[in-house]
Amino acid sequence: MTSATTTAAAAAATAKRRANGIRQGDITRLLPRPLLITVITVLLVIVLGPVIYMLFSSVNSDVAVAGGAFFPTELHFDNYIKVWSTVDLGNGLMNSVIVCVSVAVVCAFLAVATAYVLVRYEFRGRLTFLRSLLGLQSIPGTLILLPVFVLFSSLATILGIQIIGTRPALFITYLTFALPFSTWVMVTYLRGLPKALEEAARIDGASSWRILTRIVVPLSWPGIVVSGIFAFLLGWNDVLFASVLTNPETRTAAVALQVFGATQEGGAIPLYGQMMAASLICAVPVVALYLVFQRYLVGGLTSGGVK
């Protein structure tokens, strides 16, 4: 009797929603469908508008872009060829890839090891260390630039080796700034992993290192990917530290674009087409990175959010 009553009530509610023009999936929507489509369209225009403008300008003439033309009047695909000789883009991309990939790999695996200790072991100062990870994220990079420069200069004097102007200087700087956030991401992720697997491995005689490398790391790839991508983007998009800690041979792609843009200010018509082409070329690795690791990003960012 109770089951029949419940079924009848559910059928009546469904019929009422159909009568009112409401479908089952629409109950969970925060906005009505027309308004939702409008909001999504506006957001897409805001996000994709500048990218489409850059794409059109990269194959347009400099005079047309300077005149405010949106669509190309003439197609100049040679901008993508000329930019390699106009800008030191090849060397900048090579330096950016070497430094950023190294930072991403080292930061990701240091973060998972540090987070494993913070999550699975109890020791004095653990909570203070966890809170300090968040506090370090609130310090602006502009306040740290001068101390980092002075520190590297002092170390170079003491050790008798060149630090400023080298890739290791950028590597150490980016790793220092990316590690706190990456560690916190991994702490959040590892809290959601079941301890039963680790306990079973310990019963079988596995050491902490073996548990970390054979159980924790294979189960933590979404969080590791998020940590690595964050570290990669931190170095790839940085201009402030890279412009101070590099020289013309070790400058990154972001600094090469900045220098190219600064040389185009004033005087004749700037090389707008080549500037846009260089910007799009530098954006390709980041877009490819997101497309390759997209399925890991969702799991890594949302893990630990529901308990």
Mean pLDDT by 10 residues, the chain (307 residues): 45 50 51 84 89 88 82 84 86 92 92 89 82 78 86 86 88 90 86 83 84 84 87 90 89 88 73 87 88 70 48
Cα-to-chain-centroid distance, residue 249: 26
Angle between the N-to-C axes of helices 253-263 and 89-120, in degrees from 0 to 180, rounded to the nearest 10: 140
- CA gyration radius, the chain: 26
The helix (H) or strand (E) run that includes residue 153 is helix 141-159
Question: 130 near 187, Cβ under 8 Å?
Answer: yes
Tokens of 14: 């469904």
Residue ranges of domains in the chain? 1-25, 31-77, 81-302
Superfamily for domain range 81-302:
MetI-like (1.10.3720.10)
CB atoms within 10 A of CB 274: 25
pLDDT in the model for residue 300: 52
Tokens of 240: 């402030």
Task: Please compute, for residue 180, the number of CA atoms within 13 A of its CA located in the half-sphere on the CB side.
Answer: 14
pLDDT in the model for residue 174: 92
* Sign, Cα dihedral of 171, 174, 180, 185: negative
3 state DSSP class of 157: helix
DSSP structure string for 16-41:
HHHHTT--GGGGG-SS-HHHHHHHHH
Question: 257 near 87, Cβ under 8 Å?
Answer: yes
Q: Give the CA diameter of the chain.
A: 89
Q: Taking Cα atoms as reference points, which of 289, 243, 272 lies closest to residue 92?
A: 243
CA angle 304, 306, 307 (to 5 degrees): 90
DSSP structure string for 189-226:
HHTTS-SHHHHHHHHTT--HHHHIIIIIHHHTHHHHHH
CB atoms within 10 A of CB 28: 6
Alpha carbon distances (Å) from 151 to 144, 169, 194: 10, 11, 43
pLDDT in the model for residue 295: 72
pLDDT in the model for residue 86: 84
State the pTM of this model. 0.78
